[in-house]
Structure 1
Amino acid sequence: MVKVVELRGVKKSFSKFQALNGVSFTVNKGEVVGFIGPNGAGKSTTIRTLLGILKRDEGEAKIFNMDVWKDSIEIHKRISYVPGDVSLWGSLTGGEIIDLFMELHGGGDKKKRDYLIKRFELDPKKKAKSYSKGNRQKVGLIAALSVDSDLYIFDEPTSGLDPLMEAVFQDEVEKIKVAGKSILLSSHILSEVERLADRVVIIRKGEIVESGTLDELRHLTRTTITLETEQNVNEIAHIEGVHDFKQIDPRQAIFSIDVDYFNAVLTAATRLGVKKLESIPPSLEDLFMRHYEN
């Protein structure tokens, strides 16, 4: 695996407040990494450190094997970035701003720009000062996606967009993922991360609390089971690892189970005569809330 982004033990404090405390993770070539956490967890501070906007206090932070602080100018030639609140020049039109961003980056694909303007349903002739927050985000997204970058960094990119436009964004991200590009996606929309990300990194209070693929992390939360048996299903409630047991009628129940005790439930269910068994794996939201609630 070629490491495009690499952070090792990164620390950053503002006066007495420790914003980042030993943050470490990687983004590999052709990989989408979902970067999630509650507000104030350190997501934007991490991203601003990667962009060379903030200087870290300790640790290593590299993009394309170059130091994000010392080599930021070279790094920026190969990345696209969209913040959660895009600021624009009010006297320019959306189209003029997109072209300016593309020119600053070093060109871009005008056919793709026109295609994206149509897909995101943006009126490029309007002055930016008349744009809503959602339309400002569209300008940033169109400009970022119209240039050929090796790394795309999105920090709450769909903030202000309606669900239809969120779906358009997700489609376009999947296309650049197929093209072998690397993506760091920070988003509060967990279903978006769950759909797009190869790996997930969860940050809380400036520290990485979980990291891995969704399949690797699912063992940390419980699977929901719907079970119907030929005999009374009540005895399942007394098996170790079974939680939140709700008996619908004598032969049907819904409950959650720790993955390590799945075989015990299957053995007991088989003895009772299984008529229906549905298993729903834990979602990213379940995993996120587990840390958020704690």
Structure 2
Amino acid sequence: MSEETLGAIAREACTAAGLTDLDVVPIKVSENAIYRLPQSRLVVRIAKPGQRAAAERELLIADWLRRADVPAVEPADILATFVMVRDRPVTFWKELPPHRGGSATEIATALRRLHALHPPRFLSSIDPFVRLEQRIDAAIILPAEDRQWLHQHLDDLRNAWSHRIAGRQWGPIHGDAWEGNVVTADDGTTLFLDLERTSIGPPEWDLTSTAIKHSSFGWIDAQQYTEFVAAYGYDVTNWSGFALLRDIREMRMTCMAAQAAARESSRLAQAQLRVDSLRGRRGQRPWDGWEAIP
């Protein structure tokens, strides 16, 4: 869907929610389109078709975190924080204060606080493989043989997950805890964004996101990872089940890149590099060249 059409949906949603500020400014237009309303200091988030339940659940999660006194993005203080426009679920949020990506230590501290909470009844269990099959199918820009390998690798990971090693007690997890989703405001408050993947699961899942930044990609150095471990109080890489979570996270990142390449051919090189890494064509970890996809 074009940015022009998504912008029109954002304006329709504002009108449906009773807002008069229709000056929508794009922040990010990808799987979920996000717009600012500068005058109202609100954010409009447009989800994909078929994601109504997930969008409503994200508002519930944000409200739960607010009541638990865990800093996170907050629903807007308006009467209707959720509307449907055509087939698109649209939610409204308070604009964030000036912020930056969280450091490894800040992410660890925030996760420790989140993981200590008692989960609410509406939180469902983690699905590590959500939408991966569809992303592989959509990645027609990749060679057919690589797509076939990705499907087989996905089957292998699913089988390994069903026979996984038990770790720490399951509880609330963010689900996608990297510095784009765990940010620190200018006043020093670290808060969670993008609550779409928040669920009940192994706390090791959240810790793996930072661990592989060091062990798989070299995005952070040994000192930064040591500080992360010290702040959280546990090193997930010493756990015997770490390799499986690492492999699943790397697979998710690869499938995301493959889907992005199918939409924008300039990202093909990054997608192919990730596939080649998983297939052993680029040697041992840490792999050079993995870059964040906006």
Fold agreement, TM-score > 0.5: no
**Which structure has the bigger radius of gyration?**
1
- Give the strand-richer structure, 1 or 2: 1
Provide the TM-score with structure 1 as the length reference: 0.24
Provide the TM-score with structure 2 as the length reference.
Answer: 0.24
Kindly indicate whether structure 1 or structure 2 has the higher relative contact order, using CA contacts under 8 Å at least 6 residues apart: 1
- In terms of fraction of residues, the more helix-rich structure is 2
